[in-house]
Amino acid sequence: MVHKLILASRSARFNSMLYSDSSTSNGIRINDFQIDTVKLALEFIYDRNIFDNLHVVEAFEMIRFAEKFRMLDLKDKLETFISYRLTPSNVCHFFNSSVTSNSATLRQLFYDFLMVCSKHTINVDDLELLENELPVEFYRKTFNLTALYHD
């Protein structure tokens, strides 16, 4: 009973799964995430520090989990964790992962970072990996900014 209360208090989705009128079970089955992702989420729910040994790939998967189970505090902390690890050598990989993990906040951050790199002619690795629509959007905004500076 206590475990149910803790889960429900930390996640709107868990709350509705456990306490809705249509709920007939005391358990929850989570099939669309790796067991390690679920374990990390449970550790976070119980206020354990999950960030010391967390890899960025795991963090992006955790964002997907936090999004699905409406754990906004976890999502915010994961986005901050990832943002501190951003470099010109990983921004393109991170950008694609932000699309997969459905993080609009990180996607915008990475886009802005790419714009800064472009403005200051900072070399960015793996540009060819970016989603197809991004280069068009990126260059359109770059040229619009350039036009503003030359008027």
Task: List pLDDT tens digits, range 10-69.
Answer: 888 887 877 776 656 667 788 899 999 999 999 999 999 999 999 999 999 999 999 999
Is there a contact between 114 and 124 (Cβ–Cβ < 8 Å)? yes
Q: Which domain holds residue 146?
A: 87-151
22 domain-assigned: no
pTM of the model: 0.81
7 domain-assigned: no
- Residues in contact with 86: Cβ distance below 8 Å, sequence separation at least 6, in sequence order: 94, 109, 110, 113
127 domain-assigned: yes
3 domain-assigned: no
How many structural domains comprise the chain?
1
What is the spatial distance between Cα 50 and Cα 147, in angstroms, rounded to a whole number? 46
Confidence of residue 135 (pLDDT cuts 50, 70, 90): low
